[in-house]
Every structure is written in C-alpha cells, then in structure tokens.
C-alpha cells in the first residue's frame, strides 16, 4: 500500500501551469507513484479525493493554501520528493529571462512605463481587481481569466470604453496585436486582414487558414464569449470594429461569433453598413436576408469560408461607396416605425429583416419572446403588427377584405408624435378588397397634411402586392398611392430594407472616445500577471514584457481585501 505524505503551504500562490509542471517533475522522482499539486479549493480537493491523495490535513486547507500530496512506495521516497519541491520551483524560475520580478502591477508599470497591455490570467475571484488596477494605470487589458462575475465584466468594459481603453475578455483566449500573439495564437504572417472574434479557437482557425492561403493578419482582437450578449452589449466588439475601421493597414475585416443578441447584432451591422471597407461576417448559424445596398457586407456560414472570402476581397482594388440614402439616414433622427400588415408572412419577413437594423422592435407575432408586445392594442417603440391575427379578426372581416380596423389604427399611430414612418401592405387579387386605394389614399393624404402643418417629419410607405392582371389594376393603385404622397414598393424585402435604412440611427451608438490606434500599431510592450507561460510566449515573439510576481491581496482573505479596497478609494 503506498505511503501518502502531504505538505500544506499557507497563503502560497502559484499559477496553474507552474503547478502542473511541478506535479510532472514530482511524478518523475524515484519511488513516487502519484502526486497532486493544487490550490486548496473545493474542486481541487474533490480531484485529490478521486485520486486517493486527499488526507485529513489536506481537507482542512483553505482556497489560498497550496496542497502538495505525494503517494510513494515508501515513506522515505515521499519525504525525498517533498524535500525537492523548492529546488524544482527555483530551477523552473531560473530558466526565465527576467532577473527581477516586481510584486505589484504599479511597480511593473514603473519598470515598463511604455507598456500598453496587461495580460491577466489570475484566478477569476481576483481577476476583476487586477484588471481594474490596470485600467487605473491606463493600460489595455487582455483578460484570460474565467469565472469573472458578469457584473464585474460589465463594469470593467464600461469604465474602459469611457476612457478610450480596451478590455478583451474575460475568458479571452486569443489575440494578435501587430504581429504578436497574446494568449493562445498561431504564428501567422502580417497582411491586410483584421479580425474581431468572440471565439478564441475560431480566431485561430481563421487566422491560420488566411496564412495557409498566402495572405496575412494586421490584428486579431478577442472579445470574450459574453461580450455580444444583451447584458454586456458588445462593448469590446464595437470598440474593436471601430479600431480596425480606422486602421489604414487593415483592408478587410472579419467578424466571428455565435449569433449575438438582437440589439448587439443591430448595433454592429449599423456600424458595418457605414464602413468603407469590406467586412466578412460569420455569426455562426446566422443567415440574414442580404441588403443589396450593403454589398460590402459578406455573410458566410463557416470559418473556412470566412477566411477564403476575406483573402479574395483583400486582392480587390475597388472602392466602396456608401449610398447617399444610407448616409442621410444615419445622420437623421427618425423616431419610430409602426407597420400595419394584413399579410402574416409579409409581417414575418419584415421582422426578420428589420431585426438586423433595429434593436428595440416589438410585435404581436414576435420572432423572439423578448419582442412580444404586452398588449397588441398598444404599440411600443418600433412595432410591427399582423392585423390578420386572431386577436384582431374575432367577429370582424380579415383586413384584406375590410380596412376599417386598419384605418382606425393608422390614424391612431399617425397622431403619435413619436412615430416617423408608417408601413402598410396592400394585397391585390381575387377575394381582396376591390379598391383599397379608395379608402387608404384619403387617410394617407390627411395624416401627411396634418403632419406637415405641425412641421413634423412623417412618412408613409406602401408595400403593394399584385400583378398587372389583377382586377384592382396594379398600375392605377400604385399611381394613386404615390400621388397621395406615399412611397410605394412592390418587393417586401426592398420595403423592409428602406425602412431599416431610414431608422438605422435609432439603434443608439454609444458616444465613447475612440481607442488610440497607437495601442495596436506600435511594438507590443506588456505586463503579465498570472500564467508565466504567457510571459515566455511574448518574449519568444520578441515583445518586451515584465512579469509580476503576483500573490492574492491580503493572502486571499476576503474581509481584509475589502478593507484594502476601501482604503485605496480614500
């Protein structure tokens, strides 16, 4: 039966890679049959238990204590292995190329004042505090640590954005800044393609594929997996996209993520539509209807396709022109949309398209539960109604036959000073109203005249569905609606694209100061806190880096940490 010996080092901290390497060294010692070198948290104790290495003493260890547990053929072998721990740790440290290791981030910043980046890979419970200190010192943060509370991520990113700084992460595994890989990154050549990605391995695959195809990377900016959620709001993604749009060396941009939250999608795509660079978008599993006026946006369905398309686009010399209509829409205040449909499928397609433009859109036939109107009789912000749904047709004819209900709602919406555009579908053909223009045109003329009198900007767009052989006479209907002052479209998608461009500025873009381009264009100088392997990687790539000999503040004592934090604020 093996002999188990345990040593508990109170208040000691080593990064996970250092402990893994120490454990491997101990397993190679004579007579050692098993070893565990871990911090004393609950999960690690459970792992030691599974491997038969958890003793009573180890069970009492605190989260800030280091547990060294060794199983050997006999007690002397276990004792001898424990006696070599310090030698093995010192031997490992002596292989580093940094003679002096500062104990604090502030001391490191004094050693390397030109550092623009701080890499943080300490345990999640401490990571936000370290990142906050880095921002205080006006450093950008590559936050590899996971298990960082969501509220801390939001706070850090908002603070960074308001001060023209960048926080990549938490749980950001990959970035490439001016040719230097942060975290996990492949060696790729420099070139004209920049990337923004919530997926670290996705960034690695696309950058590797671009390299294999003979092209190269300017920068690859990671955001962390939660950045494009509704809670975080795509703060880092928006900042990163803006950086690459302003970076002259970046000719093509690639966006990679799982489908973002609807409001984040709308915000990112709004900014992308106004770009004068081609943008390849792989929101994995997301297939939007393509807007022909935004031909510089290229939606793809796989990581390899993203790389292939980006490389081909990087060879093109053609200039991108933003339609005047799009520029105009982006600079105006357009209030809200109210769409009153008689056709359910037409309403559905319009919702599908407009979710790429509008973040605050509601309906009685929503695509997502958060878009559901509380009361279909009361519109809210941008509203799309299917008036053919049961709640509107019980005891009354369908709106394709009878305009009474729609006219009532039309006048109500037009009287709302917050409404900037009303969209109506008019469906011709057998069985439909014999002359819809006869009822709708007078109403359109009245509301536009009333709005003009008060100096209010109000538009009416009519989606006209039919053929030249319909009994209502398509050409006559079209001309009468136009004469009334309405814009007329005969394509549901074109009508939706027009509305989207008209209202795209209603998706409010945060007024953050821009991140300084110098941060990504000058040679990388960084401070590393946590995994020593990140320091070694940066040094191997030729970056200037200072590694901090970090320990948890107050020995990890939560109460003392809180007191120290309050003292810092005074």
Chain segment 18-38, per-residue pLDDT in tens: 788 888 888 889 988 998 888
Q: Which pLDDT belongs to residue 43? A: 84
Q: Which pLDDT belongs to residue 506? A: 57
Q: Which pLDDT belongs to residue 359? A: 78
**Pair 437, 306 in one domain:** no
What number is the average pLDDT over the span 336-360? 91
CATH number at residue 56: 3.30.1360
Q: Is 362 helix (H, G, I), strand (E, B) or coil?
A: strand
CB 438 within 8 A of CB 401: no
CB 484 within 8 A of CB 445: yes
pLDDT band at residue 334 using 50, 70 and 90 as cut-offs:
low
**Pair 278, 189 in one domain:** yes
Better pLDDT: 262 or 557: 262
The whole model's pTM is what? Answer: 0.79
pLDDT band at residue 311 using 50, 70 and 90 as cut-offs:
very high
What number is the average pLDDT over the span 224-231? 94
Least confident of 21-30, 271-280, 286-295: 286-295
What number is the average pLDDT over the span 302-315? 96
Least confident of 214-228, 392-406, 439-453: 392-406
Per-residue burial over 210-229, b = 16 or more CB atoms within 10 Å of its CB, e = otherwise: bbebebbbbbbbbbbbbbbb
Q: What is the dihedral of CA 384, 387, 390, 396, to 10 degrees?
A: 160
CB 500 within 8 A of CB 521: no
**Pair 334, 306 in one domain:** no
CB 388 within 8 A of CB 344: yes
At what angle are helices 85-94 and 75-83 packed, to 10 degrees? 30
What number is the average pLDDT over the span 552-570? 56
**Pair 392, 275 in one domain:** no
How many other β-carbons are positioned within 10 Å of the β-carbon of residue 5?
Answer: 18
194, two tokens? 């920049």
**Pair 460, 539 in one domain:** no
In a domain, 129, yes or no: yes
CATH number at residue 550: 3.40.50.720
In a domain, 515, yes or no: no
460/270 Cα distance (integer angstroms): 23
CB 520 within 8 A of CB 219: yes
Q: Which pLDDT belongs to residue 332? A: 44
372/377 Cα distance (integer angstroms): 12
Q: Which pLDDT belongs to residue 318? A: 81
137/154 Cα distance (integer angstroms): 19
Tell me which residue of 206, 197, 221 sits closest to 310, measured CA to CA.
Answer: 206
Better pLDDT: 363 or 274: 363
Greatest mean pLDDT among 80-94, 223-237, 317-331, 354-368: 223-237
23/412 Cα distance (integer angstroms): 73
Q: Is the pLDDT of residue 72 over 50?
A: yes
86, two tokens? 């310090």
Q: How many CA atoms lie within 13 A of 5 on its CB side?
A: 17
Pairing between strand 217-222 and 487-489? unpaired
Average pLDDT, the chain: 89
Number of domains composing the chain? 4
Percent pLDDT > 70 in the chain is 92
E-assigned strand segments in 149-216: 167-168, 174-177, 180-183, 190-197
**Pair 203, 263 in one domain:** yes
What number is the average pLDDT over the span 379-394? 90
pLDDT band at residue 326 using 50, 70 and 90 as cut-offs:
low
What number is the average pLDDT over the span 300-319? 93
- Domain final residue pick, 273, 291, 322: 322
**Residue showing tokens 């873009």:** 509
What number is the average pLDDT over the span 124-153? 95
**Pair 354, 493 in one domain:** yes
Q: Is the pLDDT of residue 92 over 60?
A: no
Q: Is 102 helix (H, G, I), strand (E, B) or coil?
A: coil
Q: Which pLDDT belongs to residue 511? A: 82
Check residue 372 and report its DSSP letter. Answer: B
- Domain final residue pick, 32, 60, 94: 94
Q: CA–CA distance from 379 to each of 274, 419, 553 (Å)?
A: 30, 10, 53
180, two tokens? 């230097």
Q: Which pLDDT belongs to residue 2? A: 78
Q: Which pLDDT belongs to residue 13? A: 72
Q: Which pLDDT belongs to residue 323? A: 62
pLDDT band at residue 127 using 50, 70 and 90 as cut-offs:
very high
pLDDT band at residue 201 using 50, 70 and 90 as cut-offs:
very high
Q: Is 420 helix (H, G, I), strand (E, B) or coil?
A: strand
Per-residue burial over 288-317, b = 16 or more CB atoms within 10 Å of its CB, e = otherwise: eeebebbebbbbbeebebbbbbbbebbeee
In a domain, 161, yes or no: yes
In a domain, 39, yes or no: yes
Q: Name residue 38's beta-bridge partners.
A: 67
pLDDT, tens digit (0-9, with 9 covering 90-100), for 187-196: 999 999 999 9
pLDDT band at residue 510 using 50, 70 and 90 as cut-offs:
confident
Q: Is the pLDDT of residue 239 over 90?
A: yes
In a domain, 408, yes or no: yes
**Pair 164, 177 in one domain:** no
pLDDT band at residue 534 using 50, 70 and 90 as cut-offs:
very high
3-state helix, strand, coil in the chain (%, to 5): 40, 20, 40
pLDDT band at residue 542 using 50, 70 and 90 as cut-offs:
very high
**Pair 121, 155 in one domain:** yes
Q: Is the pLDDT of residue 109 over 90?
A: yes
**Residue showing tokens 């990571």:** 127
- Domain final residue pick, 322, 342, 359: 322
**Pair 111, 63 in one domain:** no
pLDDT band at residue 76 using 50, 70 and 90 as cut-offs:
confident
pLDDT band at residue 330 using 50, 70 and 90 as cut-offs:
very low
pLDDT band at residue 557 using 50, 70 and 90 as cut-offs:
low
Residue 207, by phi and psi: left (phi above 0), alpha (psi -120 to 50) or beta?
alpha
- Cα-Cα-Cα-Cα dihedral sign, residues 148, 151, 157, 159: negative
Q: Which pLDDT belongs to residue 331? A: 43
Percent pLDDT > 90 in the chain is 59
**Pair 228, 331 in one domain:** no
223/526 Cα distance (integer angstroms): 18
Q: Which pLDDT belongs to residue 93? A: 55
Per-residue burial over 414-430, b = 16 or more CB atoms within 10 Å of its CB, e = otherwise: beeeebbbbbbbbbbee
CB 436 within 8 A of CB 472: yes
Q: Which pLDDT belongs to residue 223? A: 96
403, two tokens? 């305009």
Q: Which pLDDT belongs to residue 17? A: 75
36/7 Cα distance (integer angstroms): 11
Supply the range of the domain harboring residue 332: 326-506
Q: Which residues contact 511 (CB under 8 A, 6 or more apart)?
A: none
Phi first, then psi, for residue 479 (nearest 5°) are -65, -35
pLDDT band at residue 97 using 50, 70 and 90 as cut-offs:
low
What number is the average pLDDT over the span 216-221? 98
Q: Is the pLDDT of residue 289 over 80?
A: no
E-assigned strand segments in 429-471: 459-465
């Amino acid at each position: 039966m093996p002999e188990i010996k345990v040593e508990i080092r109170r208040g000691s901290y080593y990064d996970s890679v250092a402990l893994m390497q120490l454990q491997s060294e101990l397993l190679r010692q004579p007579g050692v049959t098993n070893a565990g070198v871990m911090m004393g948290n609950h999960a690690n104790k459970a792992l030691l238990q599974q491997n038969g290495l958890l003793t009573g003493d180890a069970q009492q260890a605190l989260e800030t204590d280091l547990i060294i547990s060794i199983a050997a053929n006999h007690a002397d072998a276990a004792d001898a292995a424990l006696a070599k721990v310090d030698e093995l740790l010192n031997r490992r440290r002596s292989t580093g190329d940094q003679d002096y290791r500062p104990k604090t981030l502030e001391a490191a910043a004094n050693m390397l004042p030109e550092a623009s980046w701080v890499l943080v890979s300490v345990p999640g419970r401490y990571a936000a505090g370290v990142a906050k200190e880095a921002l205080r010192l006006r450093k950008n943060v590559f936050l590899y640590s996971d298990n960082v509370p969501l509220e801390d991520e939001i706070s850090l990113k908002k603070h960074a954005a308001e001060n023209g700084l960048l926080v990549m992460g938490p749980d950001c595994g990959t970035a490439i800044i001016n040719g230097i890989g942060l975290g996990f990154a492949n060696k790729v050549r420099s070139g004209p393609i920049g990337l923004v990605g919530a997926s670290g391995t996705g960034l690695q695959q696309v950058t590797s594929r671009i390299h294999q195809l003979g092209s190269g990377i300017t920068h690859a900016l990671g955001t962390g997996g939660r950045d494009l959620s509704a809670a975080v709001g795509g703060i880092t993604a928006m900042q990163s996209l803006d950086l690459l749009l302003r970076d002259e060396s970046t000719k093509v941009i690639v966006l990679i993520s799982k489908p973002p939250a609807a409001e984040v999608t709308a915000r990112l795509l709004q900014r992308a539509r106004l770009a004068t660079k081609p943008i390849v978008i792989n929101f994995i599993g997301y297939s939007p209807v393509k807007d022909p006026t935004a031909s510089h946006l290229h939606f793809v369905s796989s990581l390899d396709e993203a790389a292939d398309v980006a490389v081909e686009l990087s060879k093109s010399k053609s200039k991108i022109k933003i339609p005047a209509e799009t520029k105009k829409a982006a600079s105006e205040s357009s209030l809200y949309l109210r769409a009153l449909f008689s056709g359910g499928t037409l309403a559905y397609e319009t919702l599908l398209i407009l979710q790429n433009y509008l973040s605050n859109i509601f309906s009685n036939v929503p695509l997502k539960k958060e878009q559901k109107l509380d009361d279909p009789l009361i519109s809210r912000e941008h509203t799309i109604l299917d008036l053919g749904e049961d709640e509107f047709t019980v005891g009354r004819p369908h709106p394709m036959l009878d305009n009474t209900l729609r006219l009532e709602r039309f006048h109500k919406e037009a009287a709302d000073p917050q409404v900037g555009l009303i969209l109506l579908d008019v469906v011709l053909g057998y069985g439909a109203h014999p002359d819809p223009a006869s009822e709708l045109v007078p109403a359109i003329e009245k509301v536009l005249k009333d709005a003009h009198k008060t100096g209010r900007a109000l538009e009416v767009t009519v989606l006209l569905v039919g053929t030249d052989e319909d009994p209502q006479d398509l050409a006559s209907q079209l001309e009468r609606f136009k004469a009334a002052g309405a814009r007329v479209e005969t394509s549901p998608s074109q009508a939706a694209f027009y509305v989207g461009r008209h209202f795209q500025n209603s998706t409010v873009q945060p007024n953050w100061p821009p991140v300084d381009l110098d941060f990504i264009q000058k040679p990388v100088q960084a401070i590393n806190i946590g995994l020593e392997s990140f320091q070694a990687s940066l040094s191997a790539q030729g970056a200037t880096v200072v590694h901090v000999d970090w320990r948890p503040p107050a020995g990890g004592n939560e109460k003392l940490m809180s007191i120290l934090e309050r003292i810092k604020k005074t």
